[in-house]
C-alpha cells in the first residue's frame, strides 16, 4: 500500500519564507489602500455625481453642498448615494463565499496551492488596474463591477496565503529541531504556536508598509493634481502594477508544496463542495472551533465595517479633504504595525496566552464605536476633524494585533492536514458575515440619513464576540483537533485498503475468466 503522507515536507528555507512575505507585500496594498480608501471614495463620489437630490429626483445631485443628501440608481431601486458603496461591498463578499466554497479545499490535494495563491492574486491585480477605465461618473456601475471582481480574487488568494501559516510552522527549522531533540508534545505545541505568531506578525510587517507606500505615493499625486478622483484611479493602477511586480519573486522562489493525492473517482471541483460540506458537518463535533467561528462571524464583520464607515464619515460628515483622508489612512496601517509588534511584546513579557490577547485587544476595540456614539450627546465624538486622527491611531493599533492573534488562535484549533479546508471555512464565515455590516449600515443610512447611527450596530458586533471567546477552551480544542485528524487518517486508510482489496478481487476474477 502506498504512503499517503503529503508529498513535500522539506524544511522551510529563508528564501521561500521571504517569497511568501513578498506575496503579502504585493496583495496587501489592495486591502490597506484600494478597498479601504480609494474604492469607497470613488464609489461614493461617482454615484453621487450620477445621482439626484433626495427631495427631487429630477434635480441632479450637487456634492458641493454641505451634508448633501442624494440618491442613485442601484439595479431597479434608488438608494442613498452613501449606501451605494456599502451595497457593492456586500455583493462582493457574498460572491467571495461562493468562490471559497468552490476552491477553498482544493489546495489540500495535488499541487495546486501555489498556483491558486498566485493565480487569484494576478487576476485581482488586473481588475484593480481596470479602474483607470472608469472615465466618468456615469460609469459608476463599472467601478462597482470591478470592486466585486477584484475583492473576490484577492479574498480567495488570502485563503491560500493564510493556510501556509500552519504548514510552514510544521516544517520550520526551530520546530524540526525540537522534534529531533525528542521534545515533549507540549514543547512541540508551544514552539509551533510561537512560530505561528511570529509568521502572522511578520506578514503584517511586510504587507502593511507596502500598503502605506502606495498610500504615500497616491497622497503626493493627489496634492499636485486638480482631478482628485483621477488621482485615486491612478493609485489603483499603481497598486495593481506593484502587485504584479512583487509576485515575480514567489513565482520563482516559493516551493510547490504538494498535499495529499486526489482520491480515486473524485474531481477537484466536486470534491471542494463535498469537503466543505463535510467540514461544516464535522465542525459540529469540534465545539471549540464552532464557538470561535461564531465569534469570528460577528467580529470580522464589525471591525471590517468600521474602516469603511470611518472613511465615508470622514469624507461626508467631517468634510475631510482627499489629502487628509489619505494621510489618515496611512496612520491606520502604520499604527497596525506598531500595535501588532507592541502587543506581541506584551504577550511575551507577561507570558499571556493567545486567547487572553484576543480578549484584551477586542475589548479595547469596543471603545471605538462607543466614542463615536458620544457625539449624539457630547461636544466630542467625531464632531471635529482632529478626532479622526485619534481614531485612526487607536483603531489601527488594535486592528493589527487582533487580526494577528485571531489567526493564530484559530490555527491552533485546526486538525493537521486540513489547514486549507478549515481556513476556507474561516474565510467563508468571515465573508459570510462581512456583507451584513455594509448592508445594515447601508439600510441605516437609507432610513435615517445619519451615518452616526451605524455605530450602534458596530458596537454590538464587537462586544458579543468578546463574550463568546471567553468560553473557548483552547486545550480541549487542540485535543479535539488531534483526535479528529487521527480518525480521518484511519478512515482514509480503510478506504484505500477497501479500494485495493476490490481491485485485487477484480483482477482475480479476470484471471479466472
- Contact between 174 and 187 under an 8 Å Cβ cutoff? The reply is no
Q: Report d(CA 497, CA 107) in Å as an integer.
A: 24
Is residue 366 within 8 Å of residue 159, measured between CB atoms?
no
CA distances from 284 to 219, 278, 349, 457, 476 (A): 48, 10, 36, 28, 14
Q: What is the pLDDT of residue 358?
A: 94
How much is the pLDDT for 125?
96
The secondary structure of residue 80, as a DSSP letter, is E
Joined together, the cell numbers standing for residue 169 give 510552522
Q: Is pTM beyond 0.85 here?
A: no
Residue 107: the pLDDT is: 60
The pLDDT of residue 494 is 63
CA distance 339 to 201: 10
Taking the domains of the chain in order of start, what are their residue ranges? 16-508
CA distance 152 to 429: 15
Residues 6+ apart with CB under 8 A from 65: none
Nearest to 410 by CA among 281, 275, 294: 294
The predicted structure's pLDDT at residue 5: 44
Which pLDDT belongs to residue 510? 57
254-266 residue pLDDT tens: 887 766 666 676 6
Residues of the chain scoring pLDDT < 50: 1-7
16-508 CATH: 1.20.1250.20
Query: What is the reported pLDDT for 7?
Result: 39
Nearest CA among 267, 248, 249 for reference residue 102: 267
Amino acid at each position: 500500500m502506498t504512503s499517503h503522507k503529503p508529498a513535500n515536507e522539506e524544511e522551510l528555507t529563508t528564501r521561500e519564507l521571504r517569497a511568501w512575505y513578498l506575496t503579502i507585500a504585493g496583495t496587501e496594498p489592495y486591502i490597506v489602500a484600494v478597498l479601504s480608501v480609494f474604492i469607497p471614495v470613488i464609489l461614493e463620489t461617482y454615484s453621487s455625481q450620477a445621482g439626484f437630490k433626495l427631495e427631487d429626483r429630477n434635480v441632479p445631485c450637487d456634492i458641493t453642498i454641505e451634508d448633501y443628501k442624494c440618491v442613485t440608481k442601484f439595479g431597479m431601486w434608488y438608494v442613498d448615494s452613501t449606501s451605494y458603496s456599502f451595497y457593492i461591498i456586500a455583493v462582493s463578499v457574498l460572491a467571495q463565499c461562493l468562490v471559497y466554497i468552490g476552491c477553498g479545499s482544493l489546495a489540500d490535494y495535488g499541487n495546486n496551492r501555489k498556483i491558486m495563491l498566485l493565480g487569484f492574486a494576478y487576476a485581482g491585480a488586473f481588475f484593480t488596474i481596470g479602474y483607470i477605465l472608469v472615465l466618468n461618473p456615469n460609469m459608476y456601475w463599472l467601478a462597482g463591477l470591478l470592486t466585486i471582481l477584484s475583492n473576490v480574487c484577492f479574498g480567495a488568494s488570502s485563503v491560500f496565503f493564510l493556510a501556509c501559516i500552519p504548514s510552514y510552522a510544521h516544517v520550520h527549522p526551530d520546530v524540526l529541531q525540537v522534534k529531533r531533540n525528542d521534545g515533549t508534545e507540549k514543547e512541540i505545541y508551544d514552539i509551533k504556536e510561537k512560530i505561528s505568531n511570529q509568521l502572522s506578525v511578520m506578514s503584517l510587517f511586510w504587507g502593511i508598509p507596502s500598503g502605506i507606500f502606495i498610500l504615500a505615493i497616491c497622497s503626493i499625486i493627489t496634492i499636485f493634481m486638480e482631478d482628485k478622483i483621477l488621482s485615486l484611479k491612478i493609485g489603483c493602477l499603481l497598486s495593481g502594477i506593484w502587485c504584479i511586480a512583487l509576485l515575480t519573486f514567489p513565482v520563482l522562489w516559493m516551493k510547490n508544496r504538494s498535499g495529499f493525492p486526489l482520491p480515486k473517482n473524485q474531481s477537484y471541483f466536486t470534491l471542494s463542495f463535498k469537503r466543505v460540506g463535510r467540514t461544516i458537518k464535522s465542525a459540529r463535533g469540534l465545539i471549540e472551533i464552532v464557538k470561535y467561528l461564531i465569534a469570528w462571524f460577528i467580529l470580522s464583520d464589525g471591525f471590517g465595517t468600521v474602516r469603511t464607515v470611518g472613511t465615508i464619515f470622514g469624507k461626508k460628515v467631517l468634510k475631510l479633504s482627499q489629502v487628509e483622508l489619505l494621510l489618515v489612512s496611512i496612520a491606520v496601517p502604520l499604527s497596525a504595525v506598531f500595535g501588532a509588534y507592541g502587543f506581541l511584546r506584551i504577550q511575551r513579557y507577561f507570558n499571556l496566552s493567545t486567547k487572553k490577547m484576543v480578549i484584551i485587544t477586542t475589548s479595547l476595540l469596543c471603545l471605538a464605536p462607543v466614542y463615536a456614539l458620544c457625539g449624539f450627546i457630547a461636544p466630542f465624538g467625531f464632531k471635529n476633524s482632529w478626532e479622526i486622527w485619534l481614531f485612526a491611531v487607536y483603531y489601527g493599533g488594535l486592528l493589527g494585533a487582533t487580526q494577528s492573534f485571531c489567526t493564530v488562535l484559530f490555527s491552533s484549533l485546526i486538525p493537521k492536514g486540513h489547514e486549507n479546508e478549515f481556513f476556507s471555512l474561516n474565510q467563508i464565515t468571515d465573508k459570510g458575515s462581512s456583507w451584513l455590516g455594509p448592508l445594515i449600515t447601508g439600510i441605516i443610512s437609507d432610513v435615517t440619513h445619519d451615518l452616526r447611527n451605524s455605530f450602534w450596530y458596530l458596537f454590538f458586533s464587537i462586544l458579543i464576540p468578546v463574550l463568546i471567546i471567553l468560553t473557548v477552551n483552547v486545550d480541549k480544542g487542540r485535543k479535539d483537533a488531534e483526535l479528529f485528524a487521527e480518525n480521518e487518517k484511519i478512515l482514509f486508510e480503510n478506504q484505500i485498503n477497501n479500494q485495493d482489496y476490490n481491485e485485487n478481487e477484480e483482477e482475480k476474477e479476470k484471471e479466472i475468466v
